[in-house]
Amino acid sequence: MADNDVLKQDRFEKVREALWGAPGFQHRNKTITTEGWSFLPMATWIVETIRTNDSVAIFMQVIDKDGGQRLVLPQKVCEAIYQQEYRIKRKRRSVGAKQAMEKRMADPNYKPFGGKPFRKAKE
89: enclosing H helix or E strand: helix 75-106
Task: Encode the chain (123 residues) as per-residue pLDDT tens digits.
Answer: 455 555 557 889 999 999 998 999 999 999 999 887 767 788 999 999 999 998 999 999 999 888 999 999 999 999 999 999 999 999 889 888 899 888 888 888 888 777 777 777 776
Virtual torsion, Cα 100, 101, 107, 113, nearest 10 deg: 120
Looking at residue 38, its pLDDT comes to 67
Query: What DSSP designation does 120 have?
Result: P
SS3 84: helix
Residues 36 and 88 in one domain: no
71: enclosing H helix or E strand: strand 67-73
61 part of a folded domain:
yes
Looking at residue 5, its pLDDT comes to 56
Residues 37 and 66 in one domain: yes
Looking at residue 4, its pLDDT comes to 55
Residues 27 and 81 in one domain: no
Q: What is the pTM of this model?
A: 0.66
User: Whats the size of the chain, residue-wise?
Assistant: 123
Looking at residue 105, its pLDDT comes to 85
Distance CA 42, CA 64 (A): 6
Range of the domain at 46: 1-73
113 part of a folded domain:
no
114 part of a folded domain:
no
